[in-house]
Structure 1
Amino acid sequence: MNTQDKVSGYDLLRSAHLNKGMAFTEAERRAYHLEGLLPPGVRTLELQVARTHAELAQIENDLHKYLYLSDLQSRNETVFYATLMSDPSRFMPIVYTPTVGEACQKFDHIYRGGRGMYVPISARGRVKELLENWPEKDVRFIVVTDGERILGLGDLGVCGMGIPIGKLSLYTACAGVPPQYCMPVTLDVGTNNHELLEDPLYLGMRHERVRGDDYHAFVGEFIDAVQALFPKCCVQWEDFANFNAVPLLARYKDKLCTYNDDIQGTAAVALAGIFGALRISGQKLADQRFLFLGGGSAATGIAELISEAMTLEGMTIDAARARHALFDIQGLMVKSRSDLADFQKPFAVEHAPLDTFVDAVKALKPTGIIGVSTVPKLFNQQVIEAMTELNERPIIFPYSNPTSRSECTAEEAYAWSNGNAIFASGSPFPPVTLHDGRTFMPGQGNNVYIFPAMGMAVFATEATRVTQEMFIVAAKAVAEQVTEQSLATGLIYPPQAKILDASLHVAARVAEHIFEKNLARVPRPSDIEAYIRKRAYRPAYATT
């Protein structure tokens, strides 16, 4: 605790950033008027974390664990982050996907108190005034959503706030971005979810979504306010509908430090998985063909980043794009279709229409299939068997979240391919043992390998922009950390138990690229990785 801080007494115990709870020493309790407000025993941070583990062990329901941790974050963020960082592979699925999906669905019924900034469109003309109410004046990261396309769950309005809160928690827990620099934001422009509009407990604006010029003017005012108040801030767009996500990124990517994790982060983690898969198959990236189930911004973002990575192996961008195809609810995206958006057209193929995904697999002969459809079970037995007939080691990536939306399970992919599939999914699956005794460790192609590390690199360098090349660098840095032992079990991502070390390694690689491209606001240090690690947040109590 900083002695110059004026907060004391009961207010100090209600400050998540400053509160130590039972770890306040006897001297601190006297100095800050805490005597009598706490039981007399003094406990270390380590004991507080152990107590938290014990309490969580008594809670069977993951949503209730989520709520417990959310309350802890509001009371004492040091214990919260120390708990997450003590066992990240255990706690990430609770504070983020898949549990956060259920939390968002029930957000208005389980709301505990203020966290993050809610900016309603009714505040047009006063957005800067609202943002000035945020207690921290040096914000470096904003994760912002308008709640229209939360995971694979659809329009949840302001109930989508759980996503920015959860993502920023992982910025800190997985890559050491100091939490005081992070601000979750929900832009409330209404909702088209009529169940929410009719729910008396719904917490957002009670009208249908505002579209068109009014919407974009409101978002523009928000960005102008952010740049005025927080000039070093990076804005991450999160869970916007495709028809807004793509143009918003295109409009602002060259004007401020910004990126869209659904488009670029998803693409980078997929590319990292592909690099890992190629270490198993022994093939080259330029020789791959991918068929995507889903034709939205996630699919085209992945296809574009793979294409750009292919150009680094000597291909032209047009030739690289021609190696990818999209399949949506209307079937294969062919050039003759009249319903394609501009961002989909580079990946439309010259082919007769095909109505089933398995027919597309047989016709196009991809080396890998990537699911970003949010429709479960579409990687069925016919599809997996067709991929196995075409490829000795087929790449099977059902990336849709949450688990209930996954295109197939790990057990299905391994069983139907007789253990030959190189598998990764968006949500976690347990190890799979086949009838012949072989055991496989399914990888989780979770964006958590990318966006926290990107955030740490941007924080440490004070980067002015986020570029596509930075995501290719990040993908390679993730893949290079996978051991031969892991690859032997089918695991193509680093273990989540060591996510902090993995993220700091990725952050250092990205930071090196930032310095090389003259995008940093700070001088280049002699040892970039040591510099990154020194800047990383570690949960510990300040001493008086």
Structure 2
Amino acid sequence: MTDSTSPLAAGAPLPVYKRGLDLVRDPLLNKGTGFTVNERATLGLRGLVPPQVVDIEDQERRILQNFQRQHDDLDRYTYLETLHDRNETLYYRVLLSHLNEMTPIIYTPVVGLACSQFSHIYQRSRGMYFSADDVAHFAEMAQNWPEDEVEIIVVSDGSRILGLGDLGANGMGIPIGKLSLYVVGAGLEPRRTLPILLDMGTNNQALRDDPLYLGRRLPRLTGPAYETVVEAFIRAVHARWPHALIQFEDFSNDQAFQLLERYRRQVLCFNDDIQGTGAVTLAGILSALRITKQTLSEQRIVFLGAGAAARGIADTFVAGMMAESGMTLDAARRQIWTLDSQGLVTLDRLDSLSEHKRPFAQDSAPLPDLLAVIHAVRPTILIGVSGQAGSFSEAVVRAMHSYCERPILFPLSNPTSKAECTAEQAYEWTNGAALFASGSPFPPVTRGGHLLVPGQCNNMYIFPGVGQGVVSCQASKVTDAMFYVAARTLAGLVGEDSLAVGRLYPDLTLIREISVQIAVAVCELAFAEGLAGIERPADLEAFIRARMFIPEYLPYVAV
């Protein structure tokens, strides 16, 4: 791949230092049957690939035929990852051309199944594993990665994979999938991305007993021992790639907030479960409010679930209310009610509450369950981040609808099997009045001849554009304001025709255009606030577009 600031980005021949099988076996450079006659002659490839030269369009057709022959979603995931390991340009070409079909396979919901089976379907190493057993060697381990220009690292410790819990080293499927979305969604150069799994052990006994499990077969580290490993990791990767953006992904609630607060002022980093989820949810809510013709500060919002995602979304809502109407922080927080496993989060429970729950504790009598809260609060918005399938019951949804003409329902738990309700249920129980978006995709529903299109509250709408913006302008830090402008930008891209059928997000096939606009908005904010590390380009949008990886074969020249 090329330096996006060089003439090679415009399609000039790319000098390559590999020949023969070394070239064919490099997924970043391999073209398979797409190598030209001249390249085969000059790069020592004659006889190493079939004699017919095949263009990338025909290669794509072959991939699609074989993809469609797979028996189930796990087979389809494995097939695509095999292509990923063989030919990255073709892999991203296929994904970009068939986003709606492929995205649910490489990420939610199928990535959850893939992670649960990761050690059994493992074929080839991708990314890096930093095991707690090797903590003394982290600095030298970082040197083992061959790329010097890494721009984005996605790291997980496997402790809270989607709604599936502790999957240990099997959680590597998440960083791999997220970075695929970065490349597809915002055009990050594949070679400048790095998936990492921090292996702290696992408390999942079934994994520790599995003879094929590839991670540490020890209980998960906690406390100072855990913090020591994370600190060594941050130091090692920051020393190796001082300008890389680190995205924390799928860390358990007890670590997610602490890590974000500890490191956000030390290194360039953010937590997508907290900040990205908050931004994409706010964008969907802002779209829904265009339909109801209301403001954010008028809403009464109930959360089922009080973990990292709930706190991130709630904080983003609060920031939105304050920016929109000048509400005070305390007044905005009073518009939000959260439920955990003990019922409504209230002030009389303050001593026993986790730190991240305390700001949203209500001065209220105890309420034991969601239905009781619905009757007491009469919410206009209901957010599900509980991982409890079916918890938005018919009684709950009908009760909410009795108090609200157009209830806004966001069952966000992933994968699909964990969703608090389905789109069909939401529409059925509200006579089609619900404004609906979910974490995993649901098909359109027709009621009384009227098409209703559920939205997918997919972080892919947000984090690729934010990440591209941050690294493009070489921002010194990632701020909450960047996620707020990303949310407003995304909401502004939803057309009136989409709103007419209840669709609260743009068509995902437009993701590259969406990411460009978000990246530009993030950069504009960074320049305005003095956070950018480069001079502002004369044409910022053109600058962003010029950096984007296009999955096409470049001509090669032997060196």
Q: TM-score, normalised by structure 1?
A: 0.98
Residue of 297, 301, 315 corresponding to 2:327: 315
Q: 1:515 — aligned with what?
A: 527
Residues 284-304 of structure 1 show CA distances to partners (whole Å, capped at 9, x for unaligned) of 111112100001111011111
Q: Determine the structure 1 residue equivalent to 2:387.
A: 374
Q: 1:221 maps to what in 2?
A: 232
Distance 2:284 2:15 in 1: 48
* Superposition CA RMSD, Å: 1.0
Deviations 1:338-387 (A, max 9, x none): 42111111101011111120110110121100000011100011111111
Runs of 4+ in 1 over 3 A off after TM superposition: 1-4
Match of 1:413 in 2: 426
* Matched residue SS, 2:355: coil
Residue of structure 2 equivalent to 1:456: 468
2: distance between equivalents of 1:361 and 1:133? 54
Correspondences of 1:187-266 after superposition (within 5 Å): 187-266=198-277
Cross-structure match for 2:538: 526
Supply the distance in 1 between the matched residues of 2:323 and 2:14 (Cα, whole angstroms). Answer: 54
Of residues 393, 397, 404, the one that matches 1:384 is: 397
Question: SS state of the match for residue 397, structure 1?
Answer: strand
1:511 Cα offset (Å): 1.5
SS at match of 1:312: helix
Contact 1:12 1:18 in 2 (8 A): yes
Q: Is residue 390–residue 421 contact of structure 2 (8 Å, CA) maintained in 1?
A: yes
Task: Check conservation: 2:14, 2:554, Cα contact below 8 A.
Answer: no
| Distance in 2, Cα, partners of 1:95 & 1:125 | 34
* Secondary structure of the corresponding residue to residue 344 of structure 1: helix
Q: Deviations over 1:498-532 (max 9, x none)?
A: 11111211111111111111111111112211211
Structure 1 residues 76-115: aligned runs within 5 Å = 76-115=87-126
Aligned partners of 1:6 and 1:525: how far apart in 2? 33
1:349 to 343, 356, 362: 362
- Is the CA contact 1:393–1:422 (under 8 Å) kept in the aligned structure 2? yes
Residues of 2 paired with 1:16 and 1:530: CA distance?
29
> Are residue 127 (structure 1) and residue 127 (structure 2) matched?
no
Q: In the comparison of the two structures, how many residue pairs are matched?
A: 543
Question: How many Å apart are 1:320 and its aligned residue?
Answer: 0.5
Q: CA deviation at 1:459?
A: 2.2
Q: Aligned match of 1:185 in 191, 196, 200?
A: 196
Aligned-residue sequence identity (percent) comes to: 49
> Structure 1 residues 19, 385: CA separation in 2 closer, same or farther (over 3 Å shift)?
same
Alignment gaps of 5+ in structure 1: none
AA partner of residue 229 (structure 1): R
- Of the three residues 474, 495, 508, the one matched with 2:507 is 495
- Contact 1:177-1:459 within 8 A present in 2 as well: no
Q: Which runs of 5+ in 2 are unaligned?
A: 2-12
- TM-score between the two structures when normalised by the length of structure 2: 0.96
Q: Give the one of 481, 498, 505 matched to 1:486.
A: 498
Equivalent position to 2:411, from 395, 398, 407: 398
1:427 to 1:206, Cα distance in 2 relative to 1, 3 A: same
Structure 2 counterpart of 1:23 = 34
Task: Tell me if 1:73 matches 2:84.
Answer: yes
1:432 maps onto 2:480 in alignment? no
Verify: 1:288 aligned to 2:299, yes or no.
yes
Q: Secondary structure at the match of 1:125?
A: helix
**Aligned partners of 1:19 and 1:76 also within 8 Å:** yes
Deviation digits for residues 158-191 of structure 1 (CA, Å, limit 9, x no counterpart): 0000000000000000111111110000000100
Partner in structure 1 of residue 4 of structure 2: none
Residues 525 and 531 in structure 1, CA contact (< 8 A), matched pair in contact too:
yes
Deviations 1:220-250 (A, max 9, x none): 1111111111011010001111000010000
Per the alignment, do residues 45 and 315 of structure 1 end up closer, same or farther by CA in structure 2, a change over 3 Å counting?
same
**Residue type of the alignment partner of 2:384:** G
Q: CA deviation at 1:3?
A: 5.8
